[in-house]
Amino acid sequence: MGELFTLPVLLGIAYSGVRLATPYLYAALGEMFAQRSGVLNLGVEGIMLMGAYTGFFVGMTTGNLWLGLLSAALVGLLMGLLMAFISVTLQAEQGISGIGLHLFGLGLSSLLFKKTFGGVESISGFQPVKIPLLGDLPLVGEVFFNHSVLVYGAFLLVPLAAWVLNRTTLGLRIRAVGQNPEAADSLGVSVAGVRYFTVSLGGVLAGVAGASLSIALINLFQENMTNGQGFIAVALVYFGSWSPLGVLAGALLFSFVNALQLWIQVKGINLPSDVAVMMPYVLTIAALTFAVRRARQPAALTKPFARGES
């Protein structure tokens, strides 16, 4: 373990920690909007898988990564709309419908992958872009300012999400609908409209999160390649107490544990790799346990709204 505490190793882990936070950030920030408006979308994992596949397939066949990203976002939007229709219009139980959406995305992405590729192929994904000046800073530059566009986008999304949620009318409406839908409704806010918007937005971001894996971070597609990251993203929203900064903190914590875990696997020291792989999941349960203490859950989370019912 002594090797861990050398500068190059620590910098390497920090670099991949920042990088690996990307899918968590996109997916969890999108999910945060949905939950703040009162909808728990557990289908994030399935949407991410479809986004990852779509981004990879379109990027591969057209050779245009941006088109791949756009298609992934579009598929995410469609699946988000489906989830919104089921949970808002049909008022279905949200936890179970999310699992249904996950199974659907998992099955469909595996099906399409086997039909269109058959085997694992890799793609030349988004390349790191060094930011002028900042990228030349010692240490910091290396860790933070030499990433692909999608990584920068994920981190820029944090202040943007905070601004929308706390400083705009739209954000106020989202919070109102999640906290007290009856009151929001009586003031003329369309509860269904707001929830359709947030769940669709969550879908788009989950699609992008998936694509960030397949065309920017790992640069290949595999069946079930997200491996629970979508579910962890949902847990991060709880962990981050439904705030963008909290989500950022959680995403970084997880991605650093992930980076550390990958390093341990490569080194194969002391710890069997299977035990190392367990770490993020054990951490999630621990994080959820601590998050409960200071939880300020949106009051209407998972409760469907029907006018005049309560």
| Residue 125 or 210 with smaller CB distance to other proteins | 210
> Distance (Å, rounded) from C-alpha 19 to C-alpha 27?
14
Tokens standing for 27?
A: 């997916």
Task: Work out whether 262 is an interface residue with other proteins (CB under 8 A).
Answer: no
Residues 219-238, interacting with other proteins (CB under 8 A): 223, 227-228, 231-232, 234-235, 238
DSSP H/E element including 147: strand 146-147
Task: Work out whether 42 is an interface residue with other proteins (CB under 8 A).
Answer: yes
Report the chain's C-alpha Rg in angstroms: 20
Residue 118 carries which DSSP code? S
Q: Which residues, at least 6 apart from 160, have a Cβ–Cβ distance to it below 8 Å?
A: none
Task: Tally the residues of the chain.
Answer: 310
Distance in Å, CB of 250 to other proteins, minimum = 13
Q: Which residues, at least 6 apart from 113, have a Cβ–Cβ distance to it below 8 Å?
A: 53, 221, 222, 223
Distance in Å, CB of 294 to other proteins, minimum = 12
> Distance (Å, rounded) from C-alpha 289 to C-alpha 62?
45
Task: Work out whether 277 is an interface residue with other proteins (CB under 8 A).
Answer: yes
Distance in Å, CB of 7 to other proteins, minimum = 31
Residue with tokens 């069946």: 223
Alpha carbon separation from 118 to 10, 105, 113, 220 (Å, rounded): 38, 18, 6, 13
Task: Work out whether 296 is an interface residue with other proteins (CB under 8 A).
Answer: no
Task: Work out whether 278 is an interface residue with other proteins (CB under 8 A).
Answer: yes
Which range of residues in 14-22, 31-39, 143-151, 273-281 is near other proteins by CB under 8 A?
A: 273-281
| Residue 243 or 302 with smaller CB distance to other proteins | 302
Task: Determine which residue in the list 63, 107, 193, 268 makes contact with other proteins, applying CB under 8 A.
Answer: 107
Task: Work out whether 104 is an interface residue with other proteins (CB under 8 A).
Answer: yes
Task: Work out whether 285 is an interface residue with other proteins (CB under 8 A).
Answer: yes
Task: Work out whether 185 is an interface residue with other proteins (CB under 8 A).
Answer: no
Task: Work out whether 101 is an interface residue with other proteins (CB under 8 A).
Answer: yes
The letter for the amino acid at 252 is: L
Please tell me whether residue 275 adopts helix, strand or coil conformation: helix
Would you tell me which residues interact with other proteins (CB under 8 A)?
42, 46, 82, 86, 90-93, 95-97, 99-108, 110-111, 114-115, 223, 227-228, 231-232, 234-235, 238, 272, 274-275, 277-278, 281-282, 284-285, 288-289, 292, 295
